[in-house]
Amino acid sequence: MHKIPISFFLNGEKKTILADPMQRTVDLLRSELEMTGTKEGCSDGDCGACTVSIGSWEESGFVYRSVASCLLPVGRLQGKSLVTVEGVGNQTALSCIQKAIIDKHGVQCGFCSPGFVMSFFSLFSMNPIPDMKDVEIALQGNICRCTGYEGIRKAAEQMIGYQGTEIIVPPSIRSCQNAVKNLSQFLNTEEWRTPVTIDELCVALQQMPDAQIISGLTDLGVSFHTKGERPLQVIDVIQLEESRRIEIKEDGLHIGAALPLESIVLDRTVLNWLPTLGQLQLQMASKQIRNVATLGGNLCNASPIGDATVILSSANATVLVVNAKGKLRELNLTSFYTGYKQMQLEKGEIVLEVIIPPLQAGQTISFLKTGKRSSVDIASINSASNMVVQGKDIVHWTISIGGVAPTVVTFDLKDKDLSLEIPVEEIEAIGTSLSEKVVPLSDIRGSASYRKALVANHVVSHFLKQSGREETL
C-alpha cells in the first residue's frame, strides 16, 4: 500500500507523517519516531508491553483507551491523540503514576513497565477513583515476568489514595483535545476507504471488490504481521453508522457489528437483555483488545472456540448482512458457519448487526469456559446452556459447545424428562452421553480425552448453576 499523509497528535504535539496506513504503530514509534519507551514483546496483543493510549471524542466526551500498538495500524491514528509513556511525565519530573510504581517497588527489569504505566494512565484518566476490581480488569493484558504483581497492586492503591487530586493527563496533552476536532477523523484514499453510511459502503465494495475488509484487526493484524503480508486495498468498516448502534426493536436487541467488545459488555441495555454477555469482560481477551476488537470481527473470525459465538448461538441470535448492492439478509448464527473458518458470507457481504431475541419467562443462559488461564486465553472448550423452567419442570434445554468440532455444536435435550430436582447422577449420565458424541482434536490446549471429560463436566455444572444447586459444585 502506498504511503499517504496521516495527521494525529503525539503526546500533545501535532504530527503529519507519510506512512503506509497498514504499518504497525509500534514500528512507527520505535523505528521511525525514535519513541522507544513503547516495547514490543509478544507481537500478538497478549503481553501488554506495547500498550499506548488513544484519545478521541465519543458521545460521553474525550476518552482515552488503552490499546496494543503491535495490532494498531497507523491509519487508525488519523484524527486521534496518541499518548505514549514518554508523554505521561516530562523532562523534569515523573508523573504520579510513574512515581507510585517506583515508590512501591513495582519495577525490576523494566521491560513491562511502560505498558503498565499506560494502562494506569487510561484507567485513571477516565476513572480517578476506581476500585481494585477496576484495576485488575485494566491490567488483564499486562504481563510482568520478574517483579511480581504485589508492588504494582500497591502502586494502584497509592494512586487510588490520591482520591482524584493528582493530575493524570498532563496539560500539554489535555490542551490538544479540542484541536483533535479540527482533524479529518477517517482515511479515505484510493486504497483505504472508511465508509460511514451504507451508501458509501456499497460504493466502496463495488469500486474495490477485492479489498480486504477490516474491523478491529486484533486477529487479522497478527496474521498480517506473522506472514509478512499487507493488503493492497482496505475497506475499514469500523466507523459504519449502521453498525455502531444498540437498539431494542420488535424482533429483539440489535447490536452493531462494528462496536468494540468493551462497549458491548458494559452497556446497560445489553446486560439487562442478556446478562451472560457481561461475563466476557472478565473471561474474553484483555482491556487493550476489547477496546478495539469488534463483535462482527469476532464472529467473522469463524473460530469454533469463540466465546461470543457460543453464547450468541445458544441465545438463538441471528446476523444481518448486507452486500455491495445494499441488499439485506438475515441468517441464524447456528447455520451461519458451514465448516472450520467457513461462513455463509458471500463475496462483498459484511455483517451489519447481531439480533438477539428476548428471553422468555423462566429462561436463563449460562456460560462456562475452561482454559489454561482464567482470562486472556483461548479456551480448551467453552459452552453455553439455554434452559427454560416452568415450575420445577425443565421444558427446554439446549447446550452449545465450542472446541469439540469444526463449528460450535448444539445438543437439544428435548427428548429427556427433566426437572430441577432430578438426581445429579442422571445429569452426569447425560453429560457422559454427550461427551461420547463429540470428536475433538488433541492440541496444545488439551487432549481429545480431556476435552471429552470437560464436556461431561460442563453439562453438570450448567445444570447445577441454572437449577439453583450450584453450592453442590
Whether 82 is in a domain gets the answer yes
**Residue 85 shares a structural domain with residue 206:** no
The neighbouring-strand residues paired with 328 are 322
Grid coordinates given for 433: 452421553
Grid coordinates given for 178: 479540542
Tell me phi and psi for residue 417, to 5 degrees.
-95, 100
Return the DSSP state at 195: -
* β pairing state of 51-58 and 13-19: unpaired
Whether 172 is in a domain gets the answer yes
Compute and round to an integer the Cα radius of gyration of the chain.
23
**Residue 129 shares a structural domain with residue 28:** yes
In 229-317, beta strands by DSSP E: 234-236, 246-249, 252-256
- Asked whether the predicted pLDDT for residue 458 surpasses 60, the reply is yes
Exposed e or buried b per residue across 38-62, where buried means at least 16 C-beta atoms within 10 angstroms of its C-beta: bbbbebbbbbbbbbbbbbebeeeeb
**Residue 280 shares a structural domain with residue 373:** no
**Residue 208 shares a structural domain with residue 63:** no
Grid coordinates given for 459: 453439562
Return the DSSP state at 12: T
Q: CB neighbours of 161 closer than 8 A, spacing ≥ 6?
A: none
d(CA 311, CA 378): 15
d(CA 174, CA 243): 30
Tell me phi and psi for residue 264, to 5 degrees.
-70, -50
**Residue 149 shares a structural domain with residue 271:** no
Q: Could you report the per-residue pLDDT of 365-393, keeping only the tens digit for each?
A: 999 999 998 888 999 999 999 999 999 99
Whether 186 is in a domain gets the answer no
Q: Which of 124, 102, 112, 137 is nearest to 53 (CA)?
A: 124
Would you call 337 exposed, middle or buried from its count of C-beta atoms within 10 A (0-12, 13-18, 19+)?
A: buried
Query: pLDDT band at residue 341, thresholds of 50, 70 and 90?
Result: very high
Choose the final residue of a domain: 301, 332, 356.
356
Question: If you average pLDDT over residues 287-312, what whole number do you get?
Answer: 97
SS3 9: strand
Q: Could you report the per-residue pLDDT of 105-162, keeping only the tens digit for each?
A: 999 999 999 999 999 999 999 999 999 999 999 999 999 999 889 999 999 999 999 9
Question: If you average pLDDT over residues 334-356, what whole number do you get?
Answer: 97
Q: What is the pLDDT of residue 252?
A: 99
Query: pLDDT band at residue 469, thresholds of 50, 70 and 90?
Result: confident
Average pLDDT, the chain: 96
CATH code: domain of residue 74:
3.10.20.30
More confident call, 72 vs 185: 72
Query: pLDDT band at residue 31, thresholds of 50, 70 and 90?
Result: very high
Q: What is the pLDDT of residue 318?
A: 99
**Residue 23 shares a structural domain with residue 88:** yes
Whether 185 is in a domain gets the answer no
**Residue 332 shares a structural domain with residue 370:** no
- Residue listed under C-alpha cell 503526546: 11
SS3 437: coil
d(CA 146, CA 126): 29
**Lowest-confidence pick of 310-324, 351-365, 458-472:** 458-472
d(CA 357, CA 181): 38
Q: Which residue segment(s) compose the domain that 257 sits in?
A: 192-356
- Residue listed under C-alpha cell 455444536: 409
Triad 289, 292, 294: Cα angle to 5°: 105
In 272-392, beta strands by DSSP E: 318-322, 328-332, 337-339, 342-343, 350-356, 363-370, 381-390
- Asked whether the predicted pLDDT for residue 97 surpasses 90, the reply is yes
For the chain, how many structural domains are there in total? Answer: 3
Q: Do 352 and 242 touch, CB atoms closer than 8 A?
A: yes
**Residue 283 shares a structural domain with residue 386:** no
Choose the final residue of a domain: 180, 211, 236.
180
**Residue 372 shares a structural domain with residue 352:** no
Instruction: From residue 236, give the alpha-carbon distance in Å to each of 69, 199, 211, 383, 407.
Output: 18, 14, 10, 32, 27
Q: Do 450 and 385 touch, CB atoms closer than 8 A?
A: no
CATH code: domain of residue 402:
3.30.390.50
Whether 157 is in a domain gets the answer yes
**Residue 222 shares a structural domain with residue 251:** yes
User: How large a percentage of the chain has pLDDT more than 90?
Assistant: 93
Q: Do 235 and 214 touch, CB atoms closer than 8 A?
A: yes
- Asked whether the predicted pLDDT for residue 473 surpasses 70, the reply is no
**Residue 129 shares a structural domain with residue 26:** yes
Query: pLDDT band at residue 9, thresholds of 50, 70 and 90?
Result: very high
- Asked whether the predicted pLDDT for residue 165 surpasses 90, the reply is no
Choose the final residue of a domain: 122, 156, 180.
180
| Tally of CB atoms within 10 A around 13 | 11
Residue type (1 letter), 310: V
Whether 143 is in a domain gets the answer yes
Query: The pTM is what?
Result: 0.96
User: How large a percentage of the chain has pLDDT more than 70?
Assistant: 99
Q: Do 141 and 289 touch, CB atoms closer than 8 A?
A: yes
Return the DSSP state at 76: G
Exposed e or buried b per residue across 316-334, where buried means at least 16 C-beta atoms within 10 angstroms of its C-beta: bbbbbbbbbeeeeeebebb
Tell me phi and psi for residue 88, to 5 degrees.
-75, -40
Whether 187 is in a domain gets the answer no
Instruction: From residue 366, give the alpha-carbon distance in Å to each of 115, 286, 386, 388.
Output: 34, 21, 7, 11
Q: What is the pLDDT of residue 472?
A: 61
Conformational region of residue 185, where left means phi above 0, alpha means psi within -120 to 50, and beta covers everything else: alpha
Query: pLDDT band at residue 93, thresholds of 50, 70 and 90?
Result: confident
SS3 339: strand
Q: CB neighbours of 166 closer than 8 A, spacing ≥ 6?
A: 96, 159
Per DSSP, the residues of 286-316 read: -HHHHTT-BHHHHHHTT-TT-HHHHHHHHTT
Q: Could you report the per-residue pLDDT of 184-234, keeping only the tens digit for each?
A: 999 999 999 999 999 999 999 999 999 999 999 999 999 999 999 999 999
Q: What is the pLDDT of residue 470?
A: 80
**Residue 147 shares a structural domain with residue 289:** no
Q: Could you report the per-residue pLDDT of 45-67, keeping only the tens digit for each?
A: 999 999 999 999 999 999 999 99
CATH code: domain of residue 241:
3.30.465.10
Whether 433 is in a domain gets the answer yes
